[in-house]
Structure 1
Amino acid sequence: MGKQPERYKLVEPGTIFYNPMRILLGSIAFLDEGVVPGITSPDYVVFKTKPGFLHPRWFYYWLRSDAGASFIKTLARGAVRERMLFRRLAAAEIDVPPYDVQCAFARCIPAAERAWAAAEAQLMVANALRAAYVRTLFDSEDMRRWPSGQIGQVAKVQSGYAFKSEWFAAEGIRLLRNANVFQGYVAWDEEVRLPSERRSAFTLYELSAGDIVLSLDRPVVSSGLKVARLEDSDVPALLLQRVGRFRIHGLLEPDYLYAFLNSTAFLSRITGHDQSLGVPHVSPSQVEAVELPLPPPSEQKRMADVLGRHTIKADCVCEAVENELAAINALPAALLRRAFSGAL
């Protein structure tokens, strides 16, 4: 809490509150009935709806819907960062269904929220199962009988090239940034590209399907380590600075290395490293200095195959739960449509 706790705002059940500077990013919340009251930052907007006219649970979900997001964009103003002041929200007009329909929507939502929470718990269990398989492998007595060596003895970490931002273009070859690397996958929601005519000058940074890449800035997040293997759909692409690509020698199986990188043994050895401009940073040399068990390549392959069969089961559970979550997340929007059509 800051130096002036009296400035913090009370949040009671039935209250909607949002960060006016981050409202476009979805920084909005609702404290439902039965939840213990709390406080929020003095920078937040805190308000209640008019009883008998606008149900707070309906309005909160409407603001989180596509229609609500479009509405918020029309009210946001700002030269550097857009924000939505409450006076603009209070003066705006929207179409709302009858209050009894809003109440019917509000009665349906808690069941969806409970289903969502149950599915989230299942997903956590499935993810924990995958991590448990990896931990069991590398913490086993069988693994300890093998000699160990540094990663740098069997693989080198190539850091990406510092492409100049003025080279970036709307068309061309994609550049793999740390913002694209997540736990176990690469996402291209945020793209930067290099013009195709410059590509030939950077063949040493060409990526291939199957490459193992690691984010070197803020490599550890709440969901785990930002390490992934590239798919066919991720290439062609070039390696940008602050992302490392493993160049593997013949004595190391890629699947085995990837499993080790996802182990708690590796994670514990790279946490708490250097700060670069306040951001946790790990260097290629620090990664290469981490020791790992080095059984013969044939044994590495056998272990990776066994682990792969186990993790496929966990992956199937995760996929099923994620599909269930997607269906549950779509339910509020479907209920809103029914509310406006009079079918609720």
Structure 2
Amino acid sequence: MSKWEKVKLGEICDLDNGYAFKSSDYISNSNTINCRMSNIRPNATFDALYNAKYLPDNYSVKYSNYLLRDGDVIIAMTDMANDPKILGVPTVVETQGYNMLLNQRVGRLRFLKEVDGAYLKYALCQPQARSHFKRFAGGGLQINVGKKEILSVEIPLPPVETQKQIAKTLDTAAELLALRKQQLAELDNLIKSQFIEMFGDPVTNSLGWDTDLLEKYANVLTGHPFDSSKYSENGIKICGGLIIMPDRIAWEDAKYWSSSLGLEKYLLEENDIVLAMDRPWISSGFKIGQISRYDLPTLLIQRTARIRAKNMNQSFMNWMISSQRFLMHCNITETTVPHISIKDIKSFEILVPPLELQNQFAEIVTKINEQKALVKKAIYETQYLFDSLMSEYCE
């Protein structure tokens, strides 16, 4: 239970909607930017220049009622129904010297009482608030949450000075977490640069390696059609596309099957590549994971592919499957649920450099992954600290 009184957001804020600027209003460059939902990042940070859409500078006068200022708190009111990431996500505006004009379906919270904007952002990031927004969201392919529903959410409200102290503490923890994640990204980039240095650009095959069909160098299998009504509370984890994220496999959301009896062919092995055949992550490629010994035993479910190398280094193959070359090869079917086929996977023209060179690359990856494991541990500990502080201060 919160140590502070809870209030409805509408008791301390009102909400202003943005203006429906037209795409025909956009120009190539200016000092005025249309602040859209994409400027609100899923981690509740603000990116003024993310996919920036520029407007004529005189719009900052013409539409001055929609002009944002540093410190304004805005909130996303629309998201995609099948994969919501920013619905109800708040952030604090940092204009970086630009004129930022509020777009439609982005709400600006206007304070009716003295409130610290940074604290309000953190309070609205709590799981209870996010669940509230999703519960009341409606629509079709896009879901929307309205002004009434946003202002009806309840948050704890400590004294303003306490709000500022809480926000400062959480800002420090968030900055440390961001630093750890940046370290992890740099290690990933180190592997990518090492790959390019050793094998060239995989898209153009700039070093002229031999190529061949992936099916000659890998066993490719799709999973078993498990009956969801017969899932078990414990037993053997099931790995499938729904728990394969862009950066990890969400084992905490895995379903269970009581036994592997009769399903031995679907048991995964250490270092197997698993690939979601439905709902590719369009912006960065397919949702791909790699099985570790800690994940076992695990069974593979339908609409998920298992790729197991033969006569090729598994680590090298993993990077080839994660490359733009693979994304460009696969034919994403334009249906309600985009997907790829087993035929697409097997017919991929994979680079075939000497096995010795592949093994050298794998050794480098192993060493970098050891460093990544330490950073991931630090990220977990920092995230736990941040979540604990959020729970203590903002629930």
- When the two structures are superposed, what TM-score results if normalisation uses the length of structure 1? 0.71
The reply to whether residue 98 of structure 1 matches residue 159 of structure 2 is yes
The reply to whether residue 241 of structure 1 matches residue 295 of structure 2 is no
Partner of 1:138: 199
Q: Aligned to 2:214, which of 139, 151, 167?
A: 151
Aligned-pair CA distance for 1:243: 0.9
Aligned-pair CA distance for 1:313: 4.6
Superposed CA deviations along residues 238-257 of structure 1, whole A, max 9, x for unmatched, are: 221111112544x3343443
- Mapped to 1, the partners of 2:194 and 2:200 lie a distance apart of 10
Q: Aligned to 2:111, which of 49, 56, 66?
A: 49
Q: Aligned to 1:31, which of 78, 86, 92?
A: 92
Q: Is the 8 A contact 1:11 1:40 kept in 2?
A: no
The SS at the match of 2:261 is helix
- Mapped to 2, the partners of 1:319 and 1:120 lie a distance apart of 12
Partner of 2:347: 289
Q: Against the structure 1 CA distance between its residues 26 and 232, is the aligned structure 2 distance closer, same or farther, given a 3 Å change threshold?
A: farther
Amino acid at match of 2:123: W
The reply to whether residue 212 of structure 1 matches residue 282 of structure 2 is no
Residue pairs, 1:217-296, within 5 angstroms: 217-249=278-310, 251-270=311-330, 273-275=331-333, 277-294=335-352
Q: Aligned to 1:303, which of 342, 357, 367?
A: 357
In structure 1, runs of 5+ residues without a counterpart are none
Amino acid at match of 2:312: L
Aligned pair count? 324
Aligned-pair CA distance for 1:178: 0.8
Q: Is the 8 A contact 1:26 1:64 kept in 2?
A: no
Q: Against the structure 1 CA distance between its residues 339 and 239, is the aligned structure 2 distance closer, same or farther, given a 3 Å change threshold?
A: closer
Q: Aligned to 1:124, which of 181, 185, 189?
A: 185
Aligned-pair CA distance for 1:74: 7.4
The SS at the match of 2:224 is coil
Q: Against the structure 1 CA distance between its residues 157 and 276, is the aligned structure 2 distance closer, same or farther, given a 3 Å change threshold?
A: farther
In structure 2, runs of 5+ residues without a counterpart are 1-17, 23-35, 37-64
Partner of 2:42: none
- Mapped to 1, the partners of 2:124 and 2:194 lie a distance apart of 41
Aligned-pair CA distance for 1:267: 3.8
- Mapped to 1, the partners of 2:232 and 2:161 lie a distance apart of 52
Superposed CA deviations along residues 129-184 of structure 1, whole A, max 9, x for unmatched, are: 21122222322899957543211223231111223333334344332211223457
The SS at the match of 1:200 is coil
Q: Is the 8 A contact 1:146 1:294 kept in 2?
A: yes
Q: 215-224 or 126-135: which moved more?
A: 215-224
Superposed CA deviations along residues 74-117 of structure 1, whole A, max 9, x for unmatched, are: 79865999998655775677653322232344556666666555
The SS at the match of 2:307 is strand
1 or 2 for the larger relative contact order (CA 8 Å, sep ≥6)? Answer: 1
The SS at the match of 2:263 is helix
Partner of 1:193: 256
- Mapped to 2, the partners of 1:89 and 1:328 lie a distance apart of 30
The SS at the match of 1:275 is coil
Q: 83-92 or 96-105: which moved more?
A: 83-92
Q: Against the structure 1 CA distance between its residues 334 and 88, is the aligned structure 2 distance closer, same or farther, given a 3 Å change threshold?
A: same
- Mapped to 1, the partners of 2:154 and 2:244 lie a distance apart of 41
> What is the RMSD of the two structures over their aligned residues, measured on CA atoms?
4.4
- Mapped to 1, the partners of 2:152 and 2:215 lie a distance apart of 63
Amino acid at match of 2:352: L
Q: 18-27 or 123-132: which moved more?
A: 18-27
Aligned-pair CA distance for 1:310: 2.5
Partner of 1:60: 121
- Mapped to 1, the partners of 2:137 and 2:237 lie a distance apart of 30
Partner of 2:264: 203
Residue pairs, 1:315-326, within 5 angstroms: 315-319=369-373, 321-322=375-376
Q: Percent identity?
A: 19
- Mapped to 2, the partners of 1:238 and 1:231 lie a distance apart of 13
Q: Against the structure 1 CA distance between its residues 83 and 267, is the aligned structure 2 distance closer, same or farther, given a 3 Å change threshold?
A: closer
- Mapped to 2, the partners of 1:120 and 1:70 lie a distance apart of 25
- Mapped to 2, the partners of 1:151 and 1:292 lie a distance apart of 6
- Mapped to 2, the partners of 1:288 and 1:267 lie a distance apart of 13
Aligned-pair CA distance for 1:290: 1.7
